[in-house]
Amino acid sequence: MGTELGDEVVVIGGGVIGLTTAVVLAERGSRVRLWTRDPVERTTSAVAGALWWPYRIEPVASARRWALDSLGVYEELAQRPERTGVRMVEGVLGETDLDEVDGWAAARLPGLRASTAREYGGTGLWARLPLIDMSTHLPWLRERLLSAGGVVETRAVDDLAQARAPVVVNCTGLGARDLVPDPSVRPVRGQLVVVENPGVRTWLVSTDPVSGEMAYFFPQPGRLVLGGTAEEDSWAAEPDPAVAEAIVRRCAALRPEIAGARVLEHRVGLRPARDTVRLEREPLPDGRLLVHNYGHGGGGVTVAWGCARTASELACR
């Protein structure tokens, strides 16, 4: 059982995974309704940094395959950055060397090289990667879905049985913990600080080898996004001022001009972590089909198109 051309599909979840999955299904001929609890601008995905790199996502081999599939899409979208929110930007992946990417990504990322001491104080990898402005990208995805004939409905779902379509695709992220229910889905809290950009044009991701604390900054149009944290099993949705101060301090240690940048906003997002991404089909007793696509942790943007294409294939007869 699955969808055929023209069949109705309900996609539940309006973050980047749900939106991208809905776009792929609609552009392949399905009649798609996307149900989202919150407007796309207020989903967890809207908080993301969002640098293309498979971060905190398992299984590694599958994540890398989905990431490379998505990379091709983002490279094409980067030709229209003002519309899509996607740009190819250079920066340094700290605590990473060429050997770690040689087997899976090096051939697809021209210009990879070891960073110089001037670029980064430790071992690092200079790369040109997609950097996505989610405030532009999510509304663009919604418009692409609507242009393909899809429908977006703002509605809360407390039972998957509420969706009576022949095919239902569950892209509810952290919501799957209660909706499926799947207690293996858990939050990993991320806090960010958004500041005026003092002239930083490259991104940087750094991890302290002793404390494990992260520091990263991503130049987005008109601002600089500073991070961050990865607090396991924390549901705290409000920004912590002390954490914010520590984020700015760690980033300023890497680029001193950040210290005096005016703070524009604080953000908190709860990444939907799971030991492995759940991307599979579940035939229902009444003959309908449920496809699960959730548990992407901090890598949702990175693997969105690869996972959406796989979910679309799972949804087909």
Domain boundaries, the chain: 1-88+130-184+274-317
Is the Cα dihedral 24, 61, 16, 182 positive or negative?
positive
Orientation angle between helical segments 134-147 and 16-27, nearest 10 degrees? 30
Q: If you classify domain 1-88+130-184+274-317 with CATH, what class do you get?
A: alpha beta
Distance in angstroms (rounded) separating the CA atoms of residues 65 and 35 = 28
Cβ neighbours for 147, distance < 8 A, ≥ 6 positions apart? none
Distance in angstroms (rounded) separating the CA atoms of residues 289 and 7 = 12
Distance in angstroms (rounded) separating the CA atoms of residues 250 and 215 = 6
Distance in angstroms (rounded) separating the CA atoms of residues 21 and 18 = 5
> Please, is 65 exposed, middle or buried when counting C-beta atoms within 10 Å of its C-beta (0-12, 13-18, 19+)?
middle
Q: Name the one residue in this structure whose structure tokens are 């599909």.
A: 9
**pLDDT tens, the chain, 317 aa long:** 565 555 899 999 999 999 999 999 999 999 999 999 999 888 989 888 899 999 889 999 999 999 999 999 999 999 999 999 999 999 999 999 999 898 899 999 989 999 999 999 999 999 999 999 999 999 999 999 999 999 999 999 999 999 999 999 999 999 999 999 999 999 999 999 999 999 999 999 999 988 989 999 999 999 999 999 999 999 999 999 999 999 999 999 999 999 999 999 999 999 999 999 999 999 999 999 999 999 999 999 999 999 999 999 999 86
The whole-angstrom distance between residue 131's C-alpha and the CA centroid of its chain comes to 11
